Amino acid sequence: MTIGFLLAVLTGVCFGLQGVYAKWISRDMPAIFLAWITFAFTVPFLGILVVSSGIPEVHWPPFFLATFTSFCVNVVAWYLFFRALQLSPIYLTMPFTAFTPLFLIPVSFFLLGEMPSFLGGIGVGCIILGAYGLHLRSGNLVAPIRALFRERGTRLMMIVALIWSVSATVEKVAVLNSSPVFYGLVIHLLLAVAYLPLIVWRHRDRLQTLWQDWKTFTGMGLISAAVVVFQFTALQYLLVSYVIAFKRAGILISVMLGYVVFREGDLLRNLIFTALMVAGATLIMLS
Exposed/middle/buried for residue 223 (C-beta within 10 Å: 0-12, 13-18, 19+):
buried
Three-class DSSP category at 138 = coil
Helix ranges, 113-151 (H): 118-134, 143-150
In the prediction, which pLDDT does 107 show? 62
In the prediction, which pLDDT does 138 show? 58
DSSP string, 71-86: HHHHHHHHHHHHHHHH
DSSP tag of 56: P
Cα angle: 12, vertex 32, 225; to 5 degrees: 35
In the prediction, which pLDDT does 140 show? 62
Please tell me the distance from the alpha carbon of residue 234 to that of residue 228, in angstroms, as a whole number.
10
Q: How far, rounded to the nearest angstrom, does the alpha carbon of residue 145 sit from its chain's CA centroid? A: 24
Per-residue pLDDT of the chain (287 residues; tens, 9 = 90+): 688 889 999 999 999 999 999 999 987 789 999 999 999 999 999 999 999 988 899 999 999 999 999 999 999 999 999 999 999 999 999 999 988 878 877 766 665 466 778 888 898 889 888 988 888 765 566 666 776 778 899 999 999 998 888 787 788 889 889 998 999 999 999 999 999 999 999 888 888 778 888 999 999 999 999 998 998 888 888 877 788 788 888 999 999 999 999 998 789 999 999 999 999 988 887 77
Amino acid at 56: P
pTM to 2 decimals?
0.89
Query: What ranges do the domains of the chain cover?
Result: 2-286
Residues in the chain: 287
In the prediction, which pLDDT does 109 show? 66
Evaluate whether 242 touches 12 at the Cβ level (below 8 Å). no
In the prediction, which pLDDT does 183 show? 94
In the prediction, which pLDDT does 12 show? 94
